Structures are given as structure tokens and as C-alpha cells.
Amino acid sequence: MAGGDETRSKAKVKPVETSPTVPPAKDGTVDGNLHQLEAQHGILGIVLLLFCGTVSSYLCTYLPDALTVADLASHPTAFIAERAWDNLQVLNDFGPKPTGSRANELDAAGFLRREIEKVKATKHAAQRVVTEHQIVSGAYPIAFMGNPLTSVYRNAQNIVVKLAGSDDGGHALMLNCHYDTVASSPGASDDGGSCVVMLEILRVLSRAAERTKHSIVFLFNGAEETPLQAAHGFVSQHRWAAEVRAFLNLESAGSGGKEQLFQSGPQHPWLVAAYGRAVRHPAAQTASEEIFQSGLIPSDTDFRIFRDFGHVPGMDFAHTINGYRYHTRYDNIDYLTLPVLQRTGDNILALTREMANSEELARVGVDPTLAQGYSVYFDFLGFFFFHYSAATGRALNLAVAILSLIVPFLELRSSAKRVGERSIVREALVGLLGTGCGTVGSLGAVLLIANRLDATGRAMSWFSTPYLILGLYGCPVLLVHCFSHRLCNHLLEVKKTPLNLTQTIRSRLIGVNLFWALLIVALTLTNIRSAYIFTVILLFSLLSTILTSVLGYQRKTLRWLAVHLAFQVLAMLWATQFYHLLLKLFVPITGRMGAGTNPDYLIGVLVACVGILCTSYLFPLVGLLRQASELTARLIVFALIAFLLACCTQVGFPYRDESNGDPSVQRHYVTHTLQVARDGAGNVIEKSGFLLREMDRNALRVIRGVAKPDEVTPMRQMDTCRTMLFCGVPFYSIWHQIRFNNYWLDGPPPALEQATLPTFELARVSQLTSTSRQYTFSIGLRHQTSVQSALIIAPKAGVRLIKWSLMATVPDMVEFNGQRAHFVLITYGLANQPDWEVTFDFGYDLGNVQEADNLFDVNWINTYWEYTDHHTEQFDKLIEKFPEWAHVIPSVAVVNMTSY
């Protein structure tokens, strides 16, 4: 220990023998030799941390009570969750609503249009409500995970409502939701809940006696999951799109909780300022924005379309709690609550009123100063909301970093009578070393634990029981930090020092300040706005030092410790807030991130990072404990219990069915596939079977169990990888086929209604020049069914696609299985529309291509969703073999490869 000596002056003083503990003086001061507390105080520190974590967890999920129709008399202008809930029940009962399905194109769209007509019939006489039903076709280039594709949509639907403003001068705020869902999911949260919130906001505003200053456009789009297509149809082709100056996009990546503001702008800091003025229950973090835009989260929203193609600023909101249910059969109304709708409705209604009456909305596009600069914004446990410019944030970060070093040094230097300057600096460096080594060591420890759990087949043991994370990773992180500080104290302890133990510990806390200051400066200089997270932690330490100095507690150890811990309670509430936000977001995501990376690495690193955030100012206090071994022993026991639960009991099984009321399922995509290849001689080769996707780290074991007694073949080892373009895989989304592992199981061919298949027929070939040729194809769909088509066009050697009629540009090719090709995704909304012709112009080198040669290969792929009435008996039996805790998304696909 670095204590035990009395405070020394520069004059030589004869050492005095003292007992290990000295009672405090009557004035409350504590002699320098009272350097140790009882061991149980260390346990109390852990209890304090758990208490703060419990409080922040409660506040992160707290929701207000919902209003009912009975409250209308006392709240005539308020959002009424019960009315929105009634609408949601109808949308939920339609079941899954993928684009193209009758449930989406006819049932859901028809219901929304009828509800909007009711709104028009009950509006206030002062209001003007205009509706339009947009049926739109188009195409645009986009890239996901760095892979380019061409997104084509045919007859997608948008239901658009305009609530005219009093100053209807072509300036409008837009609210957007999507009523389509993925296959096999009713989409109560994603995104039916958002649509009924918008309906209720429209009702409330339309019944007001006064119009808002600016118009409000409500966009209910019917093709977002396809992905993001109907939003493009609106911003690129609807006449009201030119009036939109800002937007609010309502989304969901979970099933309940608070709607988080996780994207804003880009730039346009006035948006965040409006949010701060209007929203009663804030939930917003700049860190969420930077995490989402980093690509760590495998999702996207219409925000991207409005930003990139509409060039409109806006704000993106999403529910993220219970992401286990996202895109599964459990995203239904049974797992949603009225308070979720109430909180979302309260906030979005208030924000809509604020923005629709703001002066800034009319100046967007005219006043360039509005678009300048980024914002730093965050809430503190939902009680307080802070926002300021990124430039101000940089100044605050640097100021706090500098003051956190200067102020405690000067204050401690004064209390040490200027005799211990070098000792203060030395002990500060010891504190820095202990904190740095603890951080590096804890990262190494969690990575090692993650590796060993994965190697023993226990990956994701915490998936359904997140509390295990505290024992599996949290306790080892705390142990490593504890050992790090004790080791640095043991190796670098100085027996003769002018500092008593309390001053030594406070000097080491300056080292912790230095650790955070260095990190803050590095992040600030690289323009990472999320540095505010660490600035707040450092600010609490700085305020603690200032208050200690003001109250004169420098020489009163117990009082100083009380002030220090009081501010650390605030710091732990702040830090544990991020623990819950990150873990509640990323734990469910590990169930859909594929098997290529061990998800325990991600969770372990998150815990290690939040662990140092929570406890960096606690572990230097270990030096005050009489016996730190009791603390470490209990942490070891907690960790061992967690390991036993994870590895030896059912608690560590990752998945749960709905029997406990809180399902957390394993996801499986299974596609019954027919592959048809036609060679240049007209020969037809057919192969059929089932394609199974590995969605998480444990999926392969389940896939192999379901396939028994047969064996599954890894996708890139399929026979068709040598004979067909892109292995003959039924591509419908680049990221699922390229990023994830897929497995093939031979089987009989699927049952297909040939009359419902979209057609792709060669109409004519025209020789444009001696080195270019045009191919014209006819594409058509005559039945209302949920089917997506994909074109994979691979020019042969010496040939290139130089032009097509899909759009003005031809995007780059995507690579798969060593082959390069253009990828086109085609989504159909309303059917029974005339066939459409598409032309492809190819240029080629006469030295490599002869006049009669084929210029390119094409895979024409059609994937059916919600096709259960046509599943074969073998397909149904295969699906039934999956366990109850699995969520299976079945589809049927046919792949036709032809050379032209």
C-alpha cells in the first residue's frame, strides 16, 4: 500500500510508530495514517454500482400512462393512445404484409385510405385536408455493405395526406412511416405502430380550430422493406415532394420502449434545437447517430432516401427495446403496449407542432446558415436534454480536459504545502498506468473469455439471459482493473513520501483524469462528437474537486470521500445508461449478424468499454481498503457462478420460445429452390433443394440437425457453383447471400404456379453498330402475389453493359464466387398492369467476340413470400423439424440461367 506514513515536510522528522488505525479528530479530520477502510466497503462499492445500474435501467424503459377516449374531455388536443391502438389492432390482424401481397396492397392500403376519409369527414371547418393515392414505378442505384445494386419498383403505393398550413407558401414538414412488413411478421411495431401514431396525430391536428403555420405532409408508404423503394418514388416523382423542407421518419428496430432519436440532419442544427424545445420525454444520443452511420447495425431506413435523393434534412426515430422480436412473428400487438404509443405520440405531436410553426422551416434552402454545422445532443436518463454545436462541443471537451488536470493538481498541491509536487505527478502517472493497464488487460480478458466460450460451443449463452453478461464479462473486467491498480501500487509504491494515503489516492485520481483527457482530446481532434460521453464523466470528477475545495474537505478524508462518491453516483447513472442502451440494442442484433464473427467478442468489448466508464474513479480507492482480497474473492465467486450457469445449466441456453412470455428466437431463412440452366445448345439442366441461411453463430448445428439424416453442403461447394452464374443462388438481397453463410440440402422441386411467375422474355435483338448490340426484354406480372424478381447480368469477357433503360446510369458490378455481374432487384406492388419493356445495350471488342456469340449470361430469379398454401409436403415437414424456439421465414424461388 502507498500509505502508512504521516505527512512529512521537507525538514527531517523522526518517524513515529502508529497503529494501523487512528480515530478521527473531533473536527472530523482524519490523520494521514488512517489509510484503510474495512473490506466490506469495497463490496458496498459494487452494490452502489448495481444500484445505479438498476435505477438507470428502470428509467431507460419507463413510459408514461396512456390516455383513453374517456380522457378526451379533459385533454381535447392531446394524443389519445387508445384510438391509435384500435387502428393498430386492425393492421395487426391483416398479418404479414410484404410488398405485393394482398394483405399489403389491398387490405392495409384500403384500411388506411378509409381511416383518412374518416379524418376528412370529422375535421374542423378551418382545416383543409387533401389526399392523394400515388402508384409509382422507378429505379435508382444504391449500395449496401459496399455492394452496389439497382433497385427497381413497379406500381408501389404511397398514401399521401396534406394538412394545409395557414401560410401555404410551398413549405411543408413531412412525417413518414411504412405499412408494409417483412414476410412472416405482422409488423405491429415495425412499422404499424408508427403509422397509427401518424393517423392519430393527423386526427388531432385536423380537429384544431387553427391551422399550423406550415403545411404537414403525412406519407404512408407501402414499400420500405423491399428496401426503401416507395420513399424514393415519393421524393423523386410526387408533386408535394418539392414542398418538403424537413421530415420526421418513424421507424422501429424492436418491439416497444422509447422512440430514440438516432439520426438528425445531416447538419441543420435547428432541428435538434426544435426537438429540445418541444419534446417532453427526450431520448436522444449523438453516439447513436455515429454508431448507426458507422455501419455496425445491419439495417437502414427511409431517412437515407430522403437525405440522399430528396436532399431534405430530417430526424430519424426508432424503438429499439426487445429487438428479439424485430422481423419475427412476435412483432405483434400482444407484445406492444399502449404506453409505447402514448409516449411516441406525445413527443412526435409536440415536435410536429413546434416545427410546423417554426420560422426556420420557411428558410430552409434560402438561408444557408441553417444548414451549417453539426450538433452534439444527449439526454440524461430522460429527464434533461442538452444540445450545442459541434464547435462548442470541441471547446467544452478541451476546456474540461485541461481544467480536470490543472484544478485538482493545484488544489492538492496547496493542501500538500507545496512539498509534494513531484510526488503528486508521480502518483498521477501511477494512476494513469493502472487505469491504462486495466483497460488493456480487461479487453484482453474478455476477448479470451469470448474465444473460449465459443470454442466450447457456448457462444451467445447470454442471448436470452443478459444478466449473465455481468458475471461472464462484467466481473472479469472489474477483477482485472482491481488487480491492475493493486499491482501498480505494489510495484511502484514509495515508502517515503510527503503525501499521506488520502493525498496519494487523490493524486492517482488525477491520473484517471489524465486517461480520460487524452482520450477526449484524441476523439475531439478526429471530429468524433461522441467524445461528450467521456467529457461528462470527467466533468463530474472536476466538479467533485471544486466542491471539495470550496467546502474545505481536503484534509477530511471521510467527507472528501463522501463528496467524491456522491458525484460518482451521478457518473455511474450516466455510464450505466449507456450500458443498457448498447446491450439492449446489440444483444438482439447478434441473432441476425451471421456466423462469420464470434458475437461474444462484440459483447465482451462493449462490457469492457462501459466497465471502465463506470468504475474508473472507484478502483484507485482500492488502496483505502484494509484487505482488497475479500473484494476480489467475491468477484471471482460471482464470475464462477455465471460460468457455471452459462456452461452447465439451461440458463445458458441462448433461445426461448413464447412459453415464458418473453420469446428470444433463433432466426432461419429457408428457401425451397428450383435451379434451371439453359446452355448455348438449348439443353436444360434442373436441380432442386433447400437453401438454408446461417443467421447466427449457433445456427449451423440446428441446420445440420434439421437436415439429418442427409448432409448439408456449404453454398460455395455446391455443384452449381461450377455450372451456373453466382452458384444459381436465389439472390434477393446482396447482404444476405454475400455476407452470410448458406447451406444446400438436396430435395424435390417446389410447387410453382407457372401463371403467377413474373415473365422475362426476349422481344428482339438489334445490332446498333459493329461493336454494340441492343437486347429488348418484356417483363410482366399478372397476379397479385408477394414476389420479388432479381436480374443478375454477367457480360462475357470483352463485353460490357454500356447503357440500359432502367435508369440513366449503370452502377458498378458486384462480385460473388469469383464472378462479377450487375445486380438488379425488382419489386412489384399492384399487379394487373401492362408489361414493360427493358433494353440493354452491350458494347464489345471485335477481336474477342464474333457476330453469333452470346454476349452475356442472365439469372432471372423469382422469390415468393407468404406462399405457404403452395408449399410441398416435404417443405412443410422440413419446417416442422425446426424447434419451437426457432423463427423460420420460408420462401419459394426459381432461378433461370440463360445465355444471350
343 within 8 A of 281, measured Cβ to Cβ: yes
The radius of gyration computed from the CA coordinates of the chain, to the nearest angstrom, equals: 32
pLDDT digits (tens, 9 = 90+) for 468-527: 999 999 999 999 999 999 899 888 888 788 888 888 999 999 999 999 999 999 999 999
- Residue 554 neighbours by CB under 8 Å, 6+ apart: 411, 412, 414, 415, 548, 560
Q: Provide the residue type at 240 as one letter.
A: W
pLDDT for res 676: 94
pLDDT for res 42: 76
Task: List Cα–Cα distances, 841 to 455, 765, 779, 805, 826, in angstroms.
Answer: 52, 10, 17, 9, 19
- Write the burial class of residue 157 (CB in 10 Å: 0-12 exposed, 13-18 middle, 19+ buried): buried
Helix (H) or strand (E) holding 768: strand 759-769
Classify residue 437 as left (phi > 0), alpha (psi -120 to 50) or beta. alpha
Residues counted in the chain: 900
Q: Is the pLDDT of residue 694 over 90?
A: yes
3-state helix, strand, coil in the chain (%, to 5): 45, 20, 35
Using DSSP's 3-state secondary structure scheme, residue 253 falls into: coil
36 confidence band (pLDDT: 50, 70, 90): low
pLDDT digits (tens, 9 = 90+) for 90-103: 999 999 999 999 99
Task: List Cα–Cα distances, 364 to 173, 238, 303, 458, in angstroms.
Answer: 11, 20, 18, 54
* CA nearest neighbour of 856 among 865, 867, 844, 846: 844
pLDDT for res 555: 80
477 within 8 A of 611, measured Cβ to Cβ: yes
The HSE-up count of residue 261 (CA atoms within 13 Å, CB side) is 30
Cα angle 668-193-891, degrees, rounded to a multiple of 5: 25
Q: Is the pLDDT of residue 645 over 90?
A: yes
- Write the burial class of residue 186 (CB in 10 Å: 0-12 exposed, 13-18 middle, 19+ buried): buried
What are residue 217's DSSP bridge partners?
Answer: 162, 174
530 within 8 A of 374, measured Cβ to Cβ: no
Longest dimension (CA), the chain: 107
Residue 891 backbone dihedrals phi, psi, to 5 degrees: -155, 165
- Residue 366 neighbours by CB under 8 Å, 6+ apart: none
Per-residue pLDDT averaged across 629-638, rounded?
A: 87
Using DSSP's 3-state secondary structure scheme, residue 816 falls into: strand
**Picking from 113-122, 521-530, 568-577, 746-755, which range would have the lowest pLDDT averaged per residue?**
746-755
Q: Tell me 733's DSSP state.
A: -
Using DSSP's 3-state secondary structure scheme, residue 119 falls into: helix
pLDDT for res 624: 78
- Residue 175 neighbours by CB under 8 Å, 6+ apart: 198, 201, 216, 217, 218, 219, 247, 248, 250, 348, 352
Q: What does the domain layout of the chain look like in residue ranges?
A: 48-58+391-652, 76-382, 665-899
691 within 8 A of 670, measured Cβ to Cβ: yes
CATH architecture for the domain at 76-382: 3-Layer(aba) Sandwich (3.40)
* CA nearest neighbour of 688 among 892, 873, 888: 892
| pTM: predicted TM-score of the whole model, two decimal places | 0.92
757 within 8 A of 702, measured Cβ to Cβ: no
pLDDT over 90, % of the chain: 81
Q: What dihedral do alpha carbons 563, 569, 575, 576 form, nearest 10°?
A: 170
Q: Is the pLDDT of residue 828 over 80?
A: yes
Per-residue pLDDT averaged across 528-535, rounded?
A: 98
Q: How many whole angstroms separate alpha carbon 19 and alpha carbon 806?
A: 87
Q: Is the pLDDT of residue 680 over 80?
A: no
